[in-house]
């Protein structure tokens, strides 16, 4: 399994979202399908390379069409999307890490906590998977040679686990790397970005001007294509009991990918 991880904030400062695209199999076929739709929509440069599809750039018909096709492609392949929604008014970095640590280190630990939830609860039977995280600039600092977020994720998911009889359980993730979504090798991060952005757009309750028309259409098409009755907290919050029950009962992947809203799920975080 290959997992793509991305983040987004809304400009009003209400929500922080961390989203993950889980690709079960046929990764290269999915990627080529995505690249093909971008070529159809004239995203190719003169040298043949492809421009990036960013949700923030969905201000023109071409980007709207490409984003909708990306969602359709997502639905057609063996993959699924998960996102955690964090109300920033309830998000206090003081509870993540030590008081003397730099803010970016504590932020990395907070991101790790949410990423851990997304991966641990949504990857039955996962062993030796691969995680590609988009450039999480808010976690940059001087912890060491690499990104703080990558380092704390390695601490959590790349440890070798020994059972009581000294048998070895493979780590959930064998490779964790920060990558650029503009790199065509990791182009499926752009699909994650579109799904995450369309989700956030559906949550924001502020007035939206004419410049948002194409993004609004993408959000509505996402709900239609993925058969989502709502993006509201009141709809998704009760489903957290289902998520917990699946995890506690150690659901297998075959059953997990047939469960309610298996293609797309939201989790609304609140402090305990």
In whole angstroms, give the CA distance from residue 170 to residue 128: 7
Residue 210 region by backbone torsions, left for phi larger than 0, else alpha for psi between -120 and 50, else beta: alpha
How many CB atoms are closer than 10 A to CB 229?
Answer: 9
- Each residue of 70-125: pLDDT tens digit? 999 999 999 999 999 988 777 766 666 666 666 666 666 777 788 888 998 999 99
pLDDT value at residue 127: 87
Percent of the chain with pLDDT over 90: 61
- What is the phi/psi pair of residue 234, to 5°? -60, -30
Percent of the chain with pLDDT over 70: 82
**Global confidence as pTM:** 0.89
Q: Which residues pair with 176 in a beta bridge?
A: 131
> CB under 8 Å to 31, separation ≥6 — which residues?
187, 188
- Looking at per-residue pLDDT, the higher value among 10 and 225 belongs to 225
Is residue 142's pLDDT more than 50? no
Is residue 207's pLDDT more than 60? yes
């Amino acid at each position: 399994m290959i997992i793509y991880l991305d983040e987004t904030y809304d400009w009003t400062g209400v929500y922080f979202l961390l989203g993950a695209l889980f690709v079960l199999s046929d990764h290269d076929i999915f990627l080529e399908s995505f690249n093909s739709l971008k070529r159809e929509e004239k995203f190719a440069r003169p040298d043949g390379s492809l421009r990036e599809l960013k949700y923030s750039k969905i201000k023109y018909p071409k980007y709207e069409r490409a984003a909708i096709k990306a969602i359709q492609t997502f639905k057609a392949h063996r993959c699924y999307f998960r996102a955690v929604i964090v109300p920033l008014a309830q998000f206090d970095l003081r509870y993540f890490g030590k008081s003397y640590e730099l803010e970016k280190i504590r932020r990395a630990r907070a991101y790790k906590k949410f990423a851990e939830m997304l991966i641990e609860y949504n990857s039955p039977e996962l062993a030796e998977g691969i995680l590609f995280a988009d450039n999480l600039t808010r976690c940059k600092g001087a912890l060491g040679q690499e990104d703080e977020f990558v380092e704390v994720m390695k601490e959590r998911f790349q440890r070798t686990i020994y059972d009581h009889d000294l048998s070895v359980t493979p780590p959930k993730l064998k490779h964790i790397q920060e990558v650029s979504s503009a790199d065509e090798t990791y182009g499926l991060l752009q699909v994650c970005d579109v799904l995450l952005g369309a989700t956030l757009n559906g949550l924001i309750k502020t007035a939206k001007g004419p410049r948002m028309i194409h993004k609004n259409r993408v959000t509505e098409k996402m709900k239609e294509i993925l058969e989502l009755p709502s993006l509201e907290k009141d709809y998704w919050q009760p489903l957290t009991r289902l998520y917990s029950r699946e995890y506690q009962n150690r659901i297998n992947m075959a059953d997990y990918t047939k469960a309610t809203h298996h293609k797309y799920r939201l989790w609304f975080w609140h402090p305990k």
